Structures are given as structure tokens and as C-alpha cells.
Amino acid sequence: MGMALEEGRKAFTQDEVPIGCVIVKDGEVVGRGYNLRETDKNPVAHAEVLAIQDAARNLNGWRLTGTTLYVTVEPCPMCAGAIVLARIPRVVFSVMDLKGGAAGTCFNILESHWTNHRVEVVSGIREEEARELMQAFFRRLRKK
């Protein structure tokens, strides 16, 4: 989760919502990403989507079995759908998203019996650090 927080800090320095993500397989980081929606003018440039794309390139395939995705904020419905489609078996996140989280808070796409793949979800890891990063970003944004 420390590496995901580092990715989130990169987003923070670029005036992006500071969400960071890493994907790990066999103890090695195979994908990284942080929010780039503003920078890329791209509504789908979420940390998870970018990390999934990076991992798929690095592993030379779209099935990311045997991986764990670490992200600083609970995935949204779009990212949860991408996680299911990529067959990622485990997601670990820090902070719940009370307005749109799709890993159990508002929706539960990752563990839904309606999908063809279920994902193990672990939450609350290094929650305070991730929450502080998000709060610092929005405090700074309000001052502008």
C-alpha cells in the first residue's frame, strides 16, 4: 500500500485527485497508475484503469490472474468493472468512497454473484494516511 500512496502523491503534485494504484504479482509490481483525468483530459484515466493497462502490457495479456491490486480509495463502478474483467482476484484499498464506492460501500460489484468473477476485498489498510492525503488535496483546492 505504501507504493500506492506514493502514486497518489504523484497525482497530488500534478493537481489531480490523489488516488494511486499498484498491481503486484509474485511480490513484484507489474502495474502502476495514478489519476490523470485532468492532465490527459480523459474521464477514464483513473488510477486503477491505468494500472490495469500497465500490468496487462507488462504481463503480455489481459487476464491478470494471480495479482493483487492496491489502491488508496475504494474503486468506483467503472474501475470495479475493469477489475472484474481483468480477472484480478484480490483488491486491497485504504479509504471507503461514501459517494460511489463499488467494493461494498455503495455498490458491491467486486463480490457480486451477477458477475462471472468474484474478487476478494480487503479495506482500511493505511486508511489514515490515504484520508489525510485526500483531505489535504481538497483543502488546497478550496483555497484556490
Structural domains in the chain, sorted by start? 1-138 (3.40.140.10)
Q: Are 50 and 34 in contact (CB under 8 A)?
A: yes
If we measure between CA atoms, which residue out of 52, 97, 56, 45 comes closest to residue 70? 52
What pLDDT is recorded for position 144? Answer: 82
If we measure between CA atoms, which residue out of 38, 76, 72, 68 comes closest to residue 52? 68
- Kindly report the average pLDDT of the chain as a whole number: 97
Rounded to whole angstroms, what are the CA distances from 36 to 47, 48, 81? 7, 11, 19
75-125 pLDDT tens trace: 999 999 999 999 999 999 999 999 999 999 999 999 999 998 999 999 999
Provide φ and ψ at 37, rounded to 5°. -60, -45
Q: Which of 3-7, 24-28, 115-119 has the lowest mean pLDDT?
A: 115-119
* Binding site members: 46, 76, 79
* Binding site members for Zn(2+): 46, 76, 79
Is the pLDDT assigned to residue 25 strictly greater than 90? yes
Is the pLDDT assigned to residue 129 strictly greater than 90? yes
What pTM was estimated for this model as a whole?
Answer: 0.96
If we measure between CA atoms, which residue out of 128, 110, 108, 126 comes closest to residue 118? 110
Q: Which residues are catalytic?
A: 48
